[in-house]
Amino acid sequence: MYSSVHLSVIVMLLSILSFSGCTKIIEVNLNDADPQVVIEANVQNSSGPHYVQISKTVNYSASNQFPAVTGARVIIKDLTGGVADTLTEIQQGLYASRIITGVAGRTYQLEVTTGGKSYSAQSKMPAAAQLDSVSFEKISRPGSKTDWYAVINYQDPAGINNYYLFTLFVNGRRINNTFVYDDRFSDGRYVSRTLRTDSAYINPGDSVRVLMQHMGKEGFDYYSSFSQVTGNGALQTISPANPNSNLTGGALGYFIASYTSTRRTVAR
């Protein structure tokens, strides 16, 4: 129903995993509380459609069944280009844009009204930063087969703070590790970084794809704080905790404008 890039972004943005030791520690609170509205939204560097998913939390001890929020009024505005787009609900709780185009350097605003309450957020899409290639690190372990890990290679733009989110796919299957990095120790450098997973998923001949999102600090803070709660990297949603959010009005979640690129290769 959706393109592979957009669908992978929707799935990826509902999950979090471990992130690098370069990040700062952010305190978050686990709690059992009344249900809260959850908004998960991303504008990419494309003509769209761009998606907004709206649901409600469940308590930390409850099963991961998250009620969809239907009938919301959802608007994305391109504040730089002066365009407003009222999204269409294409399935319960999932809203799609029609005319908004994601362009690097532009600022976008999300407005959501549901249940008599309003929520909003702004995000500026960073300048282009491309994932150049994916290579492999091979680690031989005594008495076992060689472990293969993907290595991401890219140029970090110099002189500005940059924040990245990476997701790994092997033979079309998303690996349950999402990687969040900043450039505090790599500003302006060419970066080659191994994506360490909780297990070796790659074998010779496998098709490997890495999705890279260059995003603002609001996205980095959200994913980093969430990552500290999930810890072990299992597929999660945002209901167990209150990670940092750039949304006003008391909603959980995020609105992120990200410059996205992807690279595919074969492990050999």
> pLDDT tens, 44-55?
999 999 999 999
- 51-92 per-position pLDDT tens digit: 999 999 876 555 567 899 999 999 999 999 999 999 999 999
Distances (CA, A) of 42 to 5, 139, 156, 199: 12, 36, 22, 29
**Residues with Cβ < 8 Å from 88, sequence gap 6 or more?**
95, 96, 98
- What percent of the chain has a predicted confidence (pLDDT) above 70? 78
The mean pLDDT of 211-228, rounded to a whole number, is 86
What would the mean pLDDT of 144-168 be, rounded to a whole number? 94
Range from 2-6, 39-43, 195-199 that averages highest in pLDDT: 39-43
How far apart CA 95 and CA 54 sit, in angstroms, is: 8
Segment 91-109 mean pLDDT = 97
Pairing status of strand 147-155 against strand 131-139: antiparallel
What is the spatial distance between Cα 172 and Cα 105, in angstroms, rounded to a whole number?
Answer: 31
Over residues 142-171, mean pLDDT: 93
Average pLDDT over every residue of 87-111: 97
